[in-house]
Chain A
């Protein structure tokens, strides 16, 4: 098995993860009840001043959510590009490969602690692919 294959799989998995997160993170399930509606109303209506900017907790939540979307898209592009590098170059940048893998292991731990099934499964599968790819990128190759 080659590192490039695992990078391409990770990249393909990152795209639906990014799309689902972007379109879903501000969504609301009607089954969550009226108490959740009240929380959302408060998040959107209680304004506060931060360094001269008038914000709500909904603004901050939206910012973090969109940052994460941007990061997932960047990770998809990075994984795809790493998958297209010649083996010698990939071996030279294996510290980047490991940093990316560790980043997704940390994300998996966070989703496990704070989130739910869909992000847990996506981040776990992506972590496995990135670890495999990083492992294989460091292997010496016979030409």
Chain B
């Protein structure tokens, strides 16, 4: 098994994760009974460093920023998967930092979120660890 295969799998999963997150994080189910809460989050303004914001603004900012990061991670995994073995060996610090980053995301998902993000982040972490492990092997 080659590192590039694991990077390509991780990249495809990250793309799906990014699309699902970006399209889904602002949706709510009527059965949740959160309409009043969402109304308050959107309507109560406060001043922060001269900007009039709501908690919904901050929620949306954080959600889209995470979406951007997942798209970037998809591109990064794809690009790492396309590097020659010698270049990839020089990038093994990046490879391990990338895997560690997603391990942390899996832990945060486990603590605060639900099945879908937990499963995606765990599977992506496994792929990135395998890829990092294989990138460090002598050629």
Contact = CB atoms under 8 A, between A and B. Distances in A.
Chains A and B belong together in one complex: yes
A20 interface: no
A132 to B, nearest CB: 18
Chain B interface category by residue count: 35 or more
> Lowest 9 CB-CB distances: which A-B pairs, in order?
A48-B32, A114-B61, A64-B62, A63-B112, A74-B101, A32-B46, A53-B114, A103-B72, A117-B49
B116 interface: yes
Interface centre among A25, A62, A63 (most CB of B within 10 A): A63
Contact of A42 (B29, B37, B79): B37
B58 A70 contact: no
A19 B66 CA distance: 17
A35 B55 CA distance: 11
B63 A64 contact: yes
Contact of A49 (B32, B48, B87): B32
B108 A66 contact: yes
B23 interface: no
Contacts of A53: 113-115
Interface string B17-39: 00000000100010111101110
Contacts of B31: 48-49
A113 B66 CA distance: 15
A89 B90 contact: yes
Given A55-B114, A63-B113, A78 B40 contact: no
A75 B111 CA distance: 23
A52 B119 CA distance: 14
Contacts of B105: 67, 70
